[in-house]
Amino acid sequence: MKGETGGFYLALLIIIAGAAATRLYSYLLFHVFAEVFSVIIAGSIFALAWNTRRFQKSDLLIFIGIAFLFTGFVDLVHTLAYHGMNILPDDPNIPTQLWIAARSLEAAALLAAPLMLRKKGREWTIFAGFAGVTAVLLLSIAAGIFPACYIAGEGLTPFKIAMEYLICFALVLAGVHFWKNRDAFDPTVLSFLLAAIAATTISELSFTLYVGVFDGFNMLGHLLKIVAFALIYVAIIETGLQRPYDLIFRDLARTEALVRKERDTAQNYLDIAGVIILALDPEGRVTLINRKGEELLGLPLSEILRKEWFYTFVPKADRKEVLSAYHDALNGRPGFETHENGVISADGTVRNIRWANAILKDAEGRPIGLLSSGSDVTEENLSKEALRQANQKIALLGSITRHDILNHLTALSGYLDMAKIKTRDETFLEKAGAMARAIETDINFSAEYQCMGSSPPVWQDPIPLIRSCAAEQGAGEIVQVEIAPVLIYADPMLRKVFCNLIANALDHGDGVSRIVFAAEEKDGGLVIACEDDGIGIPPGEKEIIFSSGYGKNHGYGLFLIREILAITGILIRETGEAGKGARFEIFVPEGKHKKE
CATH of the domain at 589: 3.30.565.10
Q: How confident is the model at residue 574 (pLDDT cuts 50, 70, 90)?
A: very high
Return the bridge partners of 516, or none: 480, 531
The residue type at 397: L
The CATH code of the domain that includes 321 is 3.30.450.20
The verdict on 393 and 471 lying in the same domain is no
Q: Is residue 576 part of a domain?
A: yes
Q: Which of 46, 96, 93 is nearest to 71 (CA)?
A: 46
The verdict on 94 and 171 lying in the same domain is yes
Rounded CA-CA distance 328/359 in Å is 11
The verdict on 462 and 445 lying in the same domain is no
CB 563, CB 569: distance < 8 Å: no
Question: β-strand 458-460 against 350-361: which pairing, if any?
Answer: unpaired
Amino acid 135: pLDDT: 93
Rounded CA-CA distance 514/506 in Å is 10
Q: Return the number of other C-beta atoms located less than 10 Å from residue 376's C-beta.
A: 18
Amino acid 297: pLDDT: 86
Q: How confident is the model at residue 482 (pLDDT cuts 50, 70, 90)?
A: very high
Q: Which of 271-280, 487-496, 502-511 has the lowest mean pLDDT?
A: 271-280
Rounded CA-CA distance 371/358 in Å is 5
Q: Which of 104-118, 392-406, 523-537 has the lowest mean pLDDT?
A: 392-406
- What does 472-519 look like in DSSP terms, one character per residue? HTT-TTTEEEE--SEEEEE-TTHHHHHHHHHHHHHHHSSS---EEEEE
Residue 171, pLDDT > 80, answer yes
The verdict on 429 and 553 lying in the same domain is no
How far from 318 is each of 322, 337, 352, 378, CA to CA, in Å? 6, 17, 11, 15
How far from 425 is each of 209, 282, 290, 409, CA to CA, in Å? 143, 90, 83, 22
The residue among 361, 376, 391 that closes a domain is 376
What are the backbone dihedrals phi and psi of residue 64, each rounded to the nearest 5 degrees, phi first? -65, -40
Q: Is residue 556 part of a domain?
A: yes
Amino acid 513: pLDDT: 92
CB 132, CB 70: distance < 8 Å: no
Give the mean pLDDT of 322-326: 86
Output 399 or 481, whichever has higher pLDDT: 481
Q: Is residue 185 part of a domain?
A: yes
For residue range 416-465, list pLDDT tens digits in order: 676 666 665 566 566 566 556 656 655 665 555 555 555 678 889 999 99
The sign of the torsion formed by the CA atoms of 170, 176, 182, 184 equals negative
Whole domain around residue 405: which residue ranges? 382-451
Q: How confident is the model at residue 382 (pLDDT cuts 50, 70, 90)?
A: low
Q: Is residue 261 part of a domain?
A: no
pLDDT cut 90: percent of the chain above it: 15
Residue 530, pLDDT > 90, answer yes
Residues 6+ apart with CB under 8 A from 507: 552
Q: How confident is the model at residue 581 (pLDDT cuts 50, 70, 90)?
A: very high
The verdict on 277 and 423 lying in the same domain is no
Residue 51, pLDDT > 90, answer no
Q: Which of 76, 72, 77, 73 is nearest to 94 (CA)?
A: 77
Amino acid 332: pLDDT: 79
Residue 391, pLDDT > 80, answer no
Residue 5, pLDDT > 80, answer no
Residue 539, pLDDT > 70, answer yes
Structurally, how many domains does the chain consist of? Answer: 4
The verdict on 27 and 78 lying in the same domain is yes
Q: Which of 272, 251, 248 is nearest to 183 (CA)?
A: 251
Q: How confident is the model at residue 390 (pLDDT cuts 50, 70, 90)?
A: very low
Q: Return the number of other C-beta atoms located less than 10 Å from residue 147's C-beta.
A: 16
Amino acid 458: pLDDT: 83
520 dihedral zone (left: phi>0; alpha: psi -120 to 50; beta)? beta
Q: Which of 477, 483, 484 is nearest to 514 (CA)?
A: 477
Residue 386, pLDDT > 50, answer no
The verdict on 148 and 227 lying in the same domain is yes
The verdict on 284 and 250 lying in the same domain is no
Q: Is residue 504 part of a domain?
A: yes
Amino acid 388: pLDDT: 58
Give the mean pLDDT of 19-31: 70
Helix (H, G, I), strand (E, B) or coil at 243: coil
For residue range 201-241, list pLDDT tens digits in order: 887 777 676 555 455 566 776 777 778 777 877 777 655 55
Rounded CA-CA distance 76/99 in Å is 10
The residue among 419, 451, 483 that closes a domain is 451
Give the mean pLDDT of 326-355: 84
The residue among 321, 356, 376 that closes a domain is 376
Q: Is residue 265 part of a domain?
A: no
The verdict on 492 and 522 lying in the same domain is yes
Residue 244, pLDDT > 50, answer no
The residue type at 60: L
Amino acid 401: pLDDT: 56
- State the Cα angle at 420 between 419 and 422, rounded to 5°: 65
Q: How confident is the model at residue 397 (pLDDT cuts 50, 70, 90)?
A: very low
Residue 577, pLDDT > 80, answer yes
Return the bridge partners of 593, or none: 488
> Residue ranges of the alpha helices (H) in 26-157?
27-51, 60-81, 93-112, 123-142
Give the mean pLDDT of 84-104: 83
- State the Cα angle at 392 between 391 and 395, rounded to 5°: 80
The verdict on 37 and 186 lying in the same domain is yes
Rounded CA-CA distance 489/568 in Å is 7
Per-range mean pLDDT, top range of 52-56, 329-333, 421-425: 329-333
How far from 432 is each of 409, 414, 428, CA to CA, in Å? 11, 12, 6
Amino acid 357: pLDDT: 85
Q: Is residue 267 part of a domain?
A: no
Q: Which of 35-39, 181-185, 199-203, 250-254 has the lowest mean pLDDT?
A: 250-254
The CATH code of the domain that includes 97 is 1.20.1070
Q: How confident is the model at residue 529 (pLDDT cuts 50, 70, 90)?
A: very high
Q: How confident is the model at residue 360 (pLDDT cuts 50, 70, 90)?
A: confident
Question: β-strand 486-490 against 350-361: which pairing, if any?
Answer: unpaired
DSSP 281: -
Residue 362, pLDDT > 80, answer yes
Amino acid 222: pLDDT: 72
What are the backbone dihedrals phi and psi of residue 162, each rounded to the nearest 5 degrees, phi first? -65, -40
Q: Is residue 12 part of a domain?
A: yes
pTM for this one?
A: 0.43
CB 194, CB 175: distance < 8 Å: yes
Residue 584, pLDDT > 50, answer yes
Rounded CA-CA distance 404/252 in Å is 84
DSSP 236: I
Amino acid 586: pLDDT: 95
CA terminus-to-terminus distance, the chain = 75
Average pLDDT in the chain: 78
Helix, strand and coil in the chain, % to nearest 5: 60, 15, 25
Output 88 or 136, whichever has higher pLDDT: 136
For residue range 262-281, list pLDDT tens digits in order: 666 656 655 666 678 888 88
The verdict on 538 and 568 lying in the same domain is yes
The verdict on 309 and 348 lying in the same domain is yes
